[in-house]
Each structure stands twice: as C-alpha cells, then as structure tokens.
Amino acid sequence: MGNRILGALRRLSELGTLYYNAPYRAAIARAKRDEEDLFMLLVFSEMMGIPNPAAWSTLELQPLLMDRFHQWHTRMGMERSPLDHFRCC
Amino acid sequence: MSAIVLLLLGLGGMAAGYLFYSRFIADRIYRLDPNYRTPAHEYEDGVDFVPTNRYVLWGHHFTSVAGAAPIVGPAIAVIWGWLPAFIWVVFGTIFFAGVHDSGALWASVRNRAKSVGALTGEVVGRRARTVFMIVIFLVLLMVNAVFGVVIAKLLINNPGAVVPVWGAIAVALVIGQLIYRRIIGLGVVSVVGVIALYSLIYVGPKVPIALPEQVMGLSASASWILLLFAYAAIASLLPVWMLLQPRDYINGLQLFVGLILLYGAVLIGNPTVVAPMINDNVPAGTPSLLPLLFVTIACGAISGFHGLVASGTSSKQLNKETDARFVGYFGAVGEGSLALAAIIAATAGFATLADWEAVYTAFGKGSLTAFVDGGATILAGGTGMDVGVAATLLTVMAALFAGTTMDTGLRLQRYIFQEWGEIYHQKWLTRPLPATLLAVASCLLLAFGAGGADGSGGLLIWPLFGTTNQLLAGLTLLVITIMLVRRGRPAIYTLAPLVFLLVMTLFALLIQLKSFYDKQDWFLLGLDVVVLVAALLVTLECAAALKKAFREPVEQA
C-alpha cells in the first residue's frame, strides 16, 4: 500500500516536472548553448589574440573541449577550424 | 434562474460535444490515424520535438490558451443578457473552437509540425503569409494595450491585491532560481510556492496600497499602466527560465485552483442569476448584439490565438495523431468552461438586478471588475471565505493571467520587429532592446490614444481585438479547409465556421466604423480602417484560394 502511494507520488512528480519543463525546452537549450559558446570563447581566446589572464587554467581544458570545439566552429559558420595551430578537422 | 442549472447545461453541452461531435470530426473528417508517425517521433531531438504524455500536453495547451481573455470577453458581453453569451460560448466551443484547435494540430502534424504562419505561406500562398504577419501584429498590439489598462483597473478597484500581485512576481523569481539551479525538487517548490502565494493573498487586504491620485500630472490609472509596461518590458527581456517559466507554472496551478473553487462554490451556494436572460434595457450607446457579440467573445468561443499555440509548440510534442482530439478539442472545452465560469460570476454574483445594472452602465463596463466582484460574492457565499480575501484571490488570478500574456505578447512583438529589421536591413532594429522599446511605445500609444490621458477608455478596443483574433482563426480554418478539399473530404465543417466568422467580422467592423465616426473618434476610426483592410485582404485570400482548391483535382484520399 505504502509502496503504491509512493509510486503514484513519484509518477505525479515526474509528470509535474515534464509539465514544468516541456514548453521551455527549446528556449533553455538555446540559452545554455549561448552560455557554452561564451565559455568556449574564453577558453580559446588566447589563440585568437585576446589576452586571457586565466590562460594557465584554460589551457588544460582545451583537450577536453576538442569535440565541442568542432561543433562550435561549424555552428559559428566556419567550415574549418579558424585557428592555425589548432586543427580538429 | 439557478446558476447550477446554467453550469450543468453548459458543461453537459460541451461534454457531449467532446464525446460525440469531436469523435465524428476526428474519425470521419480529419481521419486521425493512430499509426501515423508524428513529427515528435520522426524528428525527435530532445529539445523541440519530444513525444509527450497527452495529459501533460493537454495541461500545457489548456493553460497556454486560457488566460484573461476568455474572462474579459464574456464579462463584457453579458450586457446583452446571459443567454446570448451562454449560447455563443457553448455552441462556439462545440462547433467552432474545438474543430479549429484540433484541426490546427492535425494540419500542423501532417506538415512536419510547421506553424500556422508557415502553413499559410505553403498551403495558401506567400501573399497570405504577409497578411498573416500583419494580423498577428495587430492582435498582439491590442491585447497588450488592453491588458495593461485592465490590470491597472483591477489594482485600483482592489488596493488589497497590489501586494499579492507584485509579490507573486517575487515568488516566481525565487521558484525559478530554486528549480533552475536544482536546489530543491519541483514537488517541494510547488507546495512552498502555493503556500507563499496564498499567504500573500491573505495578507494583501490588510495592507492595501493605492497610488496617489496625481503623480507628476498623471492619474493613478496612467501611472499603473506605465509601471506595468515597464515591468513587462523588463520581463520580456529576461531569460525565460527566470520569470516566465515559473510564472506560467504558478498560473497553471492557479487556473485549476480557481476553476475548482468557483465551480465548487456555485454548486454549494447555488446563487441566483440576477441578470436578465435577454437585456431589453441596454444602456444607451450599446451596439447591437448582432454582430458585436461574436467579436466581443473571441477566446472562449473561438480564437485564432489557439491555432498559434497548437501549431507552434503542441504539434511538435504530439505522441500519437489521435491525441489531437484530446489535446486540441478538450483544450477548447477547458477554455469554454472558464468562459462559462466568467458568465456565471458576472451574472449571478450580484444581490439584485439593480446592483447588476449599476455595474453595467455602458458597453465595455463590467469586464474583469464584474468577474472579480461577482465571483468573490459567489466564493464567499459558497465557501464562507471572507469577501475581501475572495476578491483578492480572483484579482490575483486575473492579473497574473493578463500579466503573463502581456510579457509573452511583448516578447513576440519584439521578435516581429526584429524580423522586420532583418528583412529591411535595419541593423539597429534587430537588437532586443530597441525592438522592445518600439513594441512598448506602440502599445502605450494605443492604450492612451484610445483611452485618453488616464487610459480609462482602453476597453473600447476590446471588440477590435476580438475581430483581429477572429481573422487569425479564419486564416487557420482556411488552411484546414484547403487541406480537406485537396484530400476530397467534406469541407463544410470548417468552411461554415470560416464563412460565419468572416461575415460577422466584416459586419462588426463596419458597424464600429460608423459608431467611431459618429463619436468623431478619429484614432479608433483609423485603427478600425486598418483592421478592416486586413479583414478584406483575408476575405479575398480565402475566396481566391478556395476557388483554386475546388478546381484542382483531388490529390489523395
């Protein structure tokens, strides 16, 4: 009995979350992507000639962001990597 | 006349419409197919295209289409007596709105979930799409202007609601942060949010806030309108998760709570409908029922705005094509039941006929204020709640609906300006801030232009708003009709509502044109001419497109 009530509550909460999120999925995904693009710009800023005081830390992140870097530059309208020393495709 | 009878007749009629008529439309006319692969599955991407549980989807659809408009329209239209408004809401929901909303879903699902705007361009023609953009812009412009005026009136009418109405925004901001940053789960947040909101409603009447009558030469009403637009402009520029999303969620909860409370109170208290069945004694200057009734009540009977919601978001999430009947048609039934509640509140919430007549002294009077005051009396009688608290509860509900529509409306208007900026290579106009300012300026011009310096007459444009909304519905019905004709199916079920709408719309515009001319109100006359031109363009498009469609051979069965 208790389990069934708990199960029903859990189901209700799932439906509620769906109700809360569904209408805004697209807008939020877009906002998240914009935030990520800004982050990419910060991480790769030195290579584009923008001084970055945190270059030591962001340098370590670059290999981790390789996949996303490719997606990013294609989304920004550049078919090939825009950076001379940083080839991903 | 007992309000319970009215309620049961109305709900019974709409339920029968859903059970029988919508089944006929879904099976025989649209021929919804449970095996058709909907765009939600075909293009599933976890963002726009997501197959969604039909009850959840119905919840959205219903709460996005139901707002303040299905309350304002009926609460104005009962000036002709309760019967005309009642008949139009019930029959409109059954034969117009339900068919239109489920049809918009079907049309969109069968066309890769495109929006009605894009469909008009594809199915009817490019010229029709331009007309469509203009009509949408007019709808948004008018709804924003009117709602600004309406909320200002509500806040002046009930100073006790000022704290909860603005406090609700703070509650929404906190909820938004809590959920977005995943600090606590939705269940707890909902409970806490609802408790916070209702505590504010309880406290509100104890700390009434009224603006001084004159601030820098502006009346209290004008100051509220300016404040509301300043708020809406900021809200429409914020990311959606911050304010709009949690507000929508709270509104959804409020809508269900409000409807249940109102219907419950009617059933327990059984108030008497004091307004006349048909009002023979309408105040001087009230326009004739035919055709004005059909544009005064747009949302609640049929509304083009639903087509935008159905084809814009709902169609991308439809799990099965057959769900279109439940989501679209039953969504319209939900809105019809809200309009019915508004009719009951505005006719049965008064002690005597004289009290009712004291509120409905001229066309455009009553509206949300009558809904709030009448509804509060019913709530207090049925549940034993304090009248002040009940009035605050309904004011908050109505103001939140109208406020959310305002900031969504401004956002959409901004997108249209930005799009125009791109089309006409005006770089400055493509930025959010200038586009928003331009949108706000156009709304303020309308609110004050139509209503004078204190914006009090803004409700005069309500029927004009109804007309543009009906034009939008007409365009959606045109798309559906052409699709039906091309498939060789009976088109009468969408063609008849389309013709009826266009005739009533044109008729209403001409009647109003004369009345504005007689009053020498050149501003509204100009606006009427603009809408009339749009209406003529829509009618010509319809005639041309239908003629072509009937001549062409049938494409597919």
Between chain A and chain B, the number of residue pairs with CB atoms below 8 A apart is: 55
Q: Whose CA is closest to B502, among B527, B479, B468?
A: B468
Contact (Cβ atoms closer than 8 angstroms) between residue B335 and residue B62: yes
Contact (Cβ atoms closer than 8 angstroms) between residue B410 and residue B147: no
A16 versus B495: the higher-pLDDT residue is B495
Candidates B47, B55, B187; nearest CB to A13: B187
Is residue A88 situated within a structural domain?
no
DSSP H helical segments within B68-125, as ranges? 69-77, 82-91, 98-109, 116-119
Q: Is B243 on the interface with A (CB under 8 A)?
A: no
Is residue A28 situated within a structural domain?
yes
Phi/psi for B272 (5° steps) reads: -100, 140
What pLDDT, in 10s, does the model give residues B177-201?
988 887 887 888 888 888 999 999 9
CB contact under 8 A, A25 and B248: no
Q: What is the pLDDT of residue A70?
A: 80
* Residues in chain A, pLDDT under 70: 83-87, 89
Phi/psi for A2 (5° steps) reads: -60, -40
Q: What is the pLDDT of residue B457?
A: 63
What pLDDT, in 10s, does the model give residues B29-50?
999 999 999 999 999 887 788 8
Neighbours of A26 (CB within 10 A): 17
Candidates B50, B185, B186; nearest CB to A22: B50
Is residue A25 situated within a structural domain?
yes
What pLDDT, in 10s, does the model give residues B144-168?
998 898 899 899 989 999 999 999 9
Is residue A83 situated within a structural domain?
no
Q: C-alpha distances in angstroms, B220 versus A19, B67, B213, B215, B370?
A: 38, 25, 5, 7, 20
Candidates B57, B187, B239; nearest CB to A16: B187
Task: Please tell me whether the interface predicted TM-score (ipTM) of this complex is above 0.85.
Answer: no
> How many domains does the structure of chain A reveal?
1
DSSP B282-341: PPTTPPPHHHHHHHHS-TTT--HHHHHHHHHTGGGGBSSTTHHIIIIIHHHHHHHHHHHH
What pLDDT, in 10s, does the model give residues B220-279?
888 999 999 999 999 888 888 888 889 888 888 888 888 899 999 999 999 999 999 999
Q: What is the pLDDT of residue B325?
A: 96
Q: Confidence class of residue B476 from pLDDT cuts 50, 70 and 90?
A: very high
- Whether the pLDDT of residue B557 is over 60: the answer is no
Residues B525, B531, B537, B538: is their CA dihedral positive or negative?
negative
DSSP A64-81: GGHHHHHHHHHHTT-SS-
CA dihedral of B498, B503, B505, B509, whole degrees rounded to 10: 160
B209 versus B19: the higher-pLDDT residue is B19
CB contact under 8 A, B47 and A27: no
Contact (Cβ atoms closer than 8 angstroms) between residue B88 and residue B278: no
CA B200-B205-B209 angle, to 5 degrees, is 95
Q: Which two tokens stand for residue B443?
A: 């709304």
- What is the three-class DSSP state of B2? strand
Chain B nearest CA to A84, separation (Å): 32
| Maximal C-alpha separation, chain A | 66
| CB neighbour list of residue B72: distance below 8 Å, 6 or more residues apart | B146, B150, B367, B368, B371, B462
Contact (Cβ atoms closer than 8 angstroms) between residue B269 and residue B345: no
Domain that holds residue A47: 2-75
Q: What is the pLDDT of residue A21?
A: 83
Distance between CA B312 and CA B316 in Å, rounded? 8
Residue in chain B lying closest to A13 (CA): B187
Residue in chain A lying closest to B182 (CA): A17
Chain A nearest CA to B436, separation (Å): 18
CB contact under 8 A, B56 and A17: no
Distance between CA B429 and CA A72 in Å, rounded? 27
Where does B389-514 show beta strands of DSSP type E?
none
Candidates B47, B53, B186; nearest CB to A20: B186
Mean per-residue pLDDT, B119-133:
87
Is residue A86 situated within a structural domain?
no
Is residue A66 situated within a structural domain?
yes
Q: Whose CA is closest to B486, among B20, B205, B122, B140?
A: B122
Q: Confidence class of residue B321 from pLDDT cuts 50, 70 and 90?
A: very high
- Supply the mean pLDDT for chain B: 90
Is residue A24 situated within a structural domain?
yes
Is residue A57 situated within a structural domain?
yes
Question: Exposure of B160 by Cβ count < 10 A (0-12 exposed, 13-18 middle, 19+ buried)?
Answer: buried
Contact (Cβ atoms closer than 8 angstroms) between residue B108 and residue B119: yes
What pLDDT, in 10s, does the model give residues B298-313?
999 999 989 988 888 8
Helix, strand, coil % in chain A, rounded to nearest 5: 75, 0, 25
Q: C-alpha distances in angstroms, B407 versus B148, B489, B500?
A: 10, 41, 32
> In chain B, pLDDT over 70 holds for what percent of residues?
99
Contact (Cβ atoms closer than 8 angstroms) between residue A47 and residue A55: no
For residue B179, list chain A residues with Cβ-Cβ distance below 8 A.
20
Residue ranges of domains in chain B, CATH in brackets: 3-551 (1.20.1730)
Candidates A13, A25, A26; nearest CB to B186: A13
Residues B94-129: b if buried by 16+ CB within 10 A, e if exposed:
bbbbbbbbbbbbbbbbbbebbbbbbbbbebbeeebb
Mean per-residue pLDDT, B453-457:
68
CB contact under 8 A, A29 and B47: yes
Q: Is A26 on the interface with B (CB under 8 A)?
A: yes
Distance between CA B116 and CA B123 in Å, rounded? 10
Contact (Cβ atoms closer than 8 angstroms) between residue B533 and residue B117: no
Q: What is the pLDDT of residue B215?
A: 75
Q: What is the pLDDT of residue A86?
A: 66
